[in-house]
Amino acid sequence: MVVITEAHLRTKLLKGTLSDPYFISSQHRLTPAAKDFLRDRGIKIKRVDGHPIEQDVQKQTLSIPVGVSNRHVHLSYYDVEVLFGKGYELTPYRPLSQPSQFAAEETVTLVGPKGVLSKVRVLGPARELTQIEISRSDGFIVGIHPPVRLSGAIDGTPGITIVGKAGAITVSQGVIVSKNHVHMSPNDARQFEVKDGDCLIVQAITDRPVIFPEVVVRVNEQFSLDFHIDTDEANAANLKTGDLVKVIGKNGKLFGGNV
Ligand SMILES: [Zn+2]
């Protein structure tokens, strides 16, 4: 008898070779933790007689790790100085999944007509334009209802007041709800058979298997594979950073079979 452990399943999930349903031979056994692992992800267990070789019955599934973005701001060089002082440079606190991007030690307070969000993380390095990314739920707290946009597309978006240690600034635009997207390298893009600007259809592998039907693909030599969603989306789908979503279609078409 072969005992299948949670660690074995986790490795398969990371490699993208864990199928749903999960086929198991009558001579194999799942540990209780392995059973929980499958149940938590909504993966059904199918027993088959004899000796099925897993590779024969499991179709390769492409999956993408999730990165959940909490509310944050990107600041222009000029606004860094206004908020933190002349000649100030942001202090890296921890690296982000995309190369050279970091969460800074610095935080700011966002002030809207209805309320305040404090300790909002600044992401570095400083950029050309200041951009404030909040969730729709955050929007209800501050009384600002920004549109869903990809990073950089801030024309016609609402503004907000940003308060730092050394000063405050009111920007006339720049607040967005980030549109979900996936970062990938050209190598990943070949594997997924997509190009920059294509859309993937992905589904959470959780007990709330939400489908995201229009995930914009952003391809860059610098990017590592990551599906970026905000906290509202993460909570709705029971996802957290490091979880995986499976790719079930692209450019508006499902790959076939049942969802
Ligand atoms: Zn991103």
Whole-prediction pTM value? 0.75
Give 105's pLDDT tier (boundaries 50, 70, 90).
very high
**Residue in this structure with the two tokens 């450019």, named with its chain if needed:** 251
pLDDT in tens, 179-190: 999 999 999 999
DSSP string, 140-170: HHHT--PPEE-TT--TT---EEEE-SS-EEE
Question: How far away, in angstroms, is 8 Cα from ligand 1 center?
Answer: 30
Question: How far away, in angstroms, is 224 Cα from ligand 1 center?
Answer: 10
What is the set of domains in the chain, with CATH numbers? 2-57 (no CATH), 77-177 (no CATH), 180-254 (2.40.40.20)
By the 8 A CB rule, do 85 and 166 touch?
Answer: yes
Give 26's pLDDT tier (boundaries 50, 70, 90).
confident
Question: How far away, in angstroms, is 67 Cα from ligand 1 center?
Answer: 8
Question: How far away, in angstroms, is 257 Cα from ligand 1 center?
Answer: 30
Question: How far away, in angstroms, is 164 Cα from ligand 1 center?
Answer: 24
Q: How far apart are CA 29 and CA 101, in angstroms?
A: 44
Question: How far away, in angstroms, is 182 Cα from ligand 1 center?
Answer: 7
By the 8 A CB rule, do 183 and 98 touch?
Answer: yes
Question: How far away, in angstroms, is 155 Cα from ligand 1 center?
Answer: 19
pLDDT at 50 (0 to 100): 52
